[in-house]
Structure 1
Amino acid sequence: MSRIYDCADETARKDGIADAASAVRRGDLVVLPTDTVYGIGTDAFNPKAVANLLETKGRGRDMPPPVLVGSMRAATALIDDLGNHGRDLMEEFWPGPLTLVCTATPSLSWDLGDTKGTVAVRMPMDPVALELLKETGPMAVSSANKSGQPAAVNAGEAIEQLGDEDVAVYLDGGETDSPVASTIVDLTYAVPRVLRSGAISIEQLRAVCGTVIGELRKGRTRPKKAEGEEDAEQAAETTGAETTGAQAPASGTSASEASKPEAHQAGAAATEPETDGSQGTDRSES
């Protein structure tokens, strides 16, 4: 039976975050609010937990979840190469509705699904989510819904779809701020490329980066994909908040608490978000 906490009540919120953090450490699933839609998440470094997350949603390994972090420090520990503009984009738009697809740190011991060495990372603008991420470190988080169904924008919608057997803890943070999707930007190329349009406009991105390639629209001829690009676009498939699609190294296998990288400790040690950003998300991923 799931445990549900009303985060509008200060005592319940404190108890709920403590319970959710313990559940994540055990490899259980929790539902949490984000600045976009509600997400269902677990320990990003626990392959069995991530597999359970995908099964609960009705997804396969070909649609790996994104990773939410509680600080820029935690994000950079997961990323091998931020490209020329990653740091600037983080400082401008995080926490907020911007997901960055980057080359993952090769030494990470995790398995988010069938990927080719990339990871989609976001720092959400939601106090409950950030408090939980501060306790747990990076979490694999997808939208709190069954695959193909609308993403939940409140705890009641999440409970209706996911039930009370597979999810250990529901953190009820009220209605989400906006049903606008996070913008997903691929930084694995010399020029940043929008994989999914969302709350951050391309004009805002260009104000930071200069040249940005816009989202490929239906009906236009697709250029030949470079290795790994197709997986990045699958990861960017409509999810929500900070879920958003995310990816992980193909070489990731098993992991243990003792083998978690600095990113996990950095996320757990973070206190306040390091930057301010806009808010927004979509109804398909957190």
Structure 2
Amino acid sequence: MSTSYDCAEPDARRDGLAAAAGAVRAGQLVVLPTDTVYGIGADAFNAAAVRALLDAKGRGSNMPAPVLVGSWTTIDGLVSSVPPEARKLIEAFWPGGLSLVLPHAPSLSWDLGDTRGTVMLRMPLHPVALELLREVGPMAVSSANRSGLPPAATMAEARNQLGESVSVYLDGGPAEGEASTILDLTSDEPRVLRVGAIGRDQLAEVLGREIPLAG
């Protein structure tokens, strides 16, 4: 049976984060607030939990789950190498609305879907999300909605769509942020896959050059 916690109340927030951490470690799904939309999350290293996440959304492995992290340094253990441009962008925009696509470390034993050797990483700017991520480590997190329906901007919207497939719902209030910008750094020429919270002009200012849209 699903349980929900109002993270605006200190006691409920403490209990909710503990319940969510326990659920993640047990291979179950949780819904958490982020600075963009609500997300449905699972242990990134538990392949069965990630499959359950995709199933809950009605989504196939051809649309792999992104990974959220709780600190800058976590990325070093997840990718094969961090290029200097990625370091500059992380320092400028993390935590925040920039997702980076990079080659993942070949030694990792995870199955996020058909990633073709890459992983999309982001550090969210939301205190509840960050606290959970720092407790349990990297999480596979996708928007908390059934495939084809609008992303959930509130916990109630997420619960209406996902129901009992999720063990713990964390209510952090309405999500009012814009979707993240997605930047592909898997080749020598960075490409913007989606324009969102971080504008291309902001990326250009940090990197000292214009970044083209993927065509």
| TM-score interval for Structure 1 and Structure 2 normalised by the shorter chain | over 0.9
TM-score of the superposed pair, with normalisation by structure 1: 0.74
Distance in 2 between residues matched to 1:212 and 1:11, nearest whole Å: 47
Unmatched segments (≥5 aa) in structure 2? none
Contact 2:204–2:211 (8 Å) recurs in 1: no
Distance 2:117 2:40 in 1: 23
Within 5 A, what are the aligned runs for 1:1-286?
1-163=1-163, 165-178=164-177, 180-216=178-214, 222=215
Q: Distance in 1 between matches of 2:196 and 2:75?
A: 21
Using the TM superposition, give the Cα deviation of residue 177 of structure 1 relative to its aligned residue in structure 2, in angstroms.
3.0
Deviation at 1:115, TM superposition (A): 2.0
Query: What are structure 1's unaligned runs of at least 5 residues?
Result: 217-221, 223-286
Q: TM-score, normalised by structure 2?
A: 0.98
**Residue 74 of structure 2: SS of its match in structure 1?**
helix
Q: CA offsets, 1:82-117, max 9 Å, x none?
A: 223000100000000000000101100101111211
| Partner amino acid, structure 1, of 2:171 | D
Q: Distance in 1 between matches of 2:193 and 2:173?
A: 29
Q: How much does 1:210 deviate?
A: 1.8
Any idea what the Cα deviations from partners look like across 1:168-192, whole Å, max 9, x if unmatched? 00000000132x1100001111122
Q: In 1, are the aligned partners of 2:203 and 2:211 still within 8 Å (CA)? A: no
- Aligned-partner SS, 1:81: coil
Matches of 2:91 and 2:78, distance apart in 1: 17
**CA contact 2:38–2:143 (8 Å) conserved in 1:** yes
Instruction: Provide the alpha-carbon RMSD of the alignment.
Output: 0.9
Between the aligned residues of both structures, percent identity stands at 61
Residue 211 of structure 1 deviates from its aligned partner by: 2.3
What SS is found at the alignment partner of 1:73?
Answer: helix
Equivalent pair of 2:42/2:141 in contact (CA under 8 Å): yes
Cα separation, 1, equivalents of 2:7 and 2:84: 39
